[in-house]
Amino acid sequence: MAEKEPETIERKLVLFNTMTKQKEEFKPIVEGKVSMYVCGVTPYDLSHIGHARAYVAFDVLHRYLRQLRYDVTYVRNFTDIDDKIIKRANEAGEDPLKLSRHFSDEFLVDMAMLQCLPPTHEPRVTEHMNQIRDMISKIMENGHAYTIEGDVYFSVDSFPEYCRLSGRKLDDNMAGGGGRVTVDTRKKNPADFALWKSAKPGEPSWESPWGQGRPGWHIECSAMSAQYLGLKFDIHGGGKDLVFPHHENELAQSRAANPESCVSCWMHNGFVNRDNQKMSKSENNFFTIRDIIANYHPLALRFFLMRTHYRADVNYSDRALDNASDRVFYIYQTLQDCEVALTPFREGTYKVQVPDDVKELVQKFHASFFESMSDDLHTTDVLDDLVEPLKTINGTLKKFKGVDEGSDYCNNNNLMQGKKQQQALIVALLALEKEVKEVIGILGLLPTSSFAEVLKQLKDFALKRAGMTEEELSNKIEERTLARKNKQYDESDRIRKELTAVGISLMDEPGGTVWRPCEPSDE
C-alpha cells in the first residue's frame, strides 16, 4: 500500500458534522494539516468501556488522517480538577491533585494497551489557569458574563447563537447547564453556567480577579483548544453525551471571547449500552477497561468496539466479545501461518507475476478499504471485507504446502513447472499478506509483539474464561483420544461439545488433536 500513498491524499474524506446534521466533505483549514481536539477524561477512577469507545473511535480517525498523509495535531485533555475528583479524594482522605494524577497515569496505561496512539498534546486544566482566567476576562469584557460573590456565570441570554449545535430550545435546558452544575437561584437565567467557582473550604483553589476559586467544567476546553490549535481548528470530538451541555457551552464561550472562533467539524461517537441503557459511572452499570481486559485481550476489545460504526451505540455482551476474540484469533493465526510459510522465501527474487485473480482481489480490497473509511469511517465494512483476503491466504497456503511437499504439482509435472507454480503462490501470499497487514495496521489492530505471542495470550484468555488450566485441557484431550481409540464415539462427542460450550474448539490433525479458542456454543 505504501507505493499507493500519493493517490490517497486525493480521495475525498466525508465526515458527519453534528453542527450541520449531515455528512460533508472534509476540507482542512490549512492544506495538508489537520487540527483536532477531543475532550478527555475526568480522572477520578479507572476508565470505563465508554471511554475506550470514544478514544478508539478518534484514534481510528487520527490514524486514517495520517494515512492520508495529513500532518495531524491531536489534542486530548485531562480535566484534572473537578467536583467529582474533589468528592472522591475527600472520601479517600487523599489530595485531589494526587488522585487525579494517579488515575491520569492509569488512563494512559489503558490507552497504550488498546494501541491508541499518543496525542500530540495532553494538556491538564491545572497547568492552564492563566489561559482560563484570560478567556473568562475576555468573555466578561465582551458583556457575556457576570459575577456573583466570587462566582462568574456565562449569560446565555447575551448569546443568541446558544443551542445552535445541539438544536435544543433554551426552555428545555436543564437548570444550571447540566448535571455537573447545581441549581443557583442567584443566576439571571437558570441555564447560565459557571465559568469560575469561588473557593470552598478544604478545596484546591487558584487566584483570580474574582477571588480564590477554580474553573467551571466547560471553560477549560475552550481555553486549551485555543492555546494549542488557535481560534479556528478543524475537528472537535467527543461522546454524543457531550453535545449538550459541554460542547454547546464550549462553543458559546469561545465565540463570546473571540467572535472569529470556529470549529469546522463537530464529531460525536455513540454510547456503549448494557441492557439498552447507556453505560456510565453515574448509573453504576459500567465495566472498567480493566474489568474487560482481565478476561479478553485488549485487541479483542478494540476489535469489538470497531465492529459498530462510531456514531452508533454499541451493545455490550460477553457473546459479542467472544465473537471479537474469535475473529482476532483467526486474523492472527492466518497471518502467523503465512509468516511461517514465507520465512524461507522472503529474500528471494521472483520473476513471476502475482496471479490475476489475487491481484484483482488485492486491488478490490485496497479500493474498498479507502472507500469505506473515506465514507465517515465505516470500520464495520472494512472488518467484514477482511474475510475474503484472509480466506484466500488460507486457501493459497494449502496449495503452497502441496507444492512444497511435491504432492500436487511436482509429481504430475516436471520440476521446472513445479518451481514456477511455487513462485506464483509465494508472490500471491506476499501480496495478500502485505495488504492485510497494512490495513489492520491503519486500524490499530497490528500487534506490537509477534503473532505467535498474541495467539498464546488469546489462548490463555480463552482458558481463563473456560475456567481451565492447560493441564486440565490436556487431560480432557487425552480422555477424548482414548475414547476414540476405543470407538466410544458418544463419549468422544460429549467431551468435544463440553469444551466447545466453554469456548474451546478441538481439531483432529495428522499429528494429533490441537485446540483453538472459539465462541462458546449453546449446544
The DSSP-derived string for 146-157 is EEETTEEEE-GG
> Both 260 and 359 in a single domain?
no
Output the pLDDT for position 380. 98
DSSP type of residue 324: H
Express each pLDDT in 288-310 by its tens digit.
999 999 999 999 999 999 999 99
Same domain, 199 and 257: yes
Asked if pLDDT for residue 418 goes beyond 80, the answer is no
- Decide: 244 and 238 in contact? Cβ < 8 Å: no
How far apart are the C-alpha atoms of 104 and 58, rounded to whole Å? 18
Task: Please determine, for residue 427, whether its predicted confidence score (pLDDT) is greater than 90.
Answer: yes
Residue 181 pLDDT grade (very low, low, confident, very high; cuts 50, 70, 90): very low
Tally of domains in the chain: 3
Question: Which residue type sits at 477?
Answer: I
Say if residue 73's pLDDT is above 90.
yes
Please compute the mean of the pLDDT values over residues 65-87 and round it to a whole number.
97
- Torsions phi, psi for 222 (to 5 deg): -60, -45
Same domain, 71 and 216: yes
Residue 460: inside a domain, yes or no? no
Of 421, 452, 483, which residue is a domain's last?
452
Among 354, 365, 319, which residue's Cα sits nearest to residue 428?
354
What is the distance in angstroms between the CA of the first residue and the CA of the last residue of the chain? 43
Q: Where are the beta strands (DSSP E) in 407-490?
A: none
Domain that holds residue 185: 2-294
- For helices 356-374 and 415-442, give the axis angle rounded to 10 degrees: 0
Q: Are residues 375 and 446 in the same domain?
A: yes
Q: Are 377 and 61 in contact (CB under 8 A)?
A: yes
Mean of pLDDT values over 192-200: 97
The overall average pLDDT reported for the chain is 92
Q: Are residues 82 and 106 in the same domain?
A: yes
Categorize the per-residue pLDDT at 279 as very low, low, confident or very high, splitting at 50, 70 and 90.
Answer: confident
- pLDDT tens track for 380-395: 999 999 999 999 999 9
pLDDT (average), residues 188-194: 95
In this structure, of 70-79, 199-208, 409-418, the range with the lowest mean pLDDT score is: 409-418
Residue 2: pLDDT band with limits 50, 70, 90: very low
- CB count, 10 Å around CB of 188? 13
Q: Do 165 and 287 reside in the same domain of the chain?
A: yes
Domain boundary, last residue among 294, 329, 362: 294
Tens digit of each residue's pLDDT (9 = 90 or more) over 97-111: 999 999 999 999 999
pLDDT above 70 (res 414): no
- pLDDT of 412 strictly over 70: no
- What distance in Å separates the CA atoms of residue 351 and residue 115, rounded to the nearest whole number? 38
152 burial type by CB count under 10 A (0-12 exposed, 13-18 middle, 19+ buried): buried
The structure's pTM equals 0.93
In the numeric block, which cell numbers belong to residue 175? 437548570
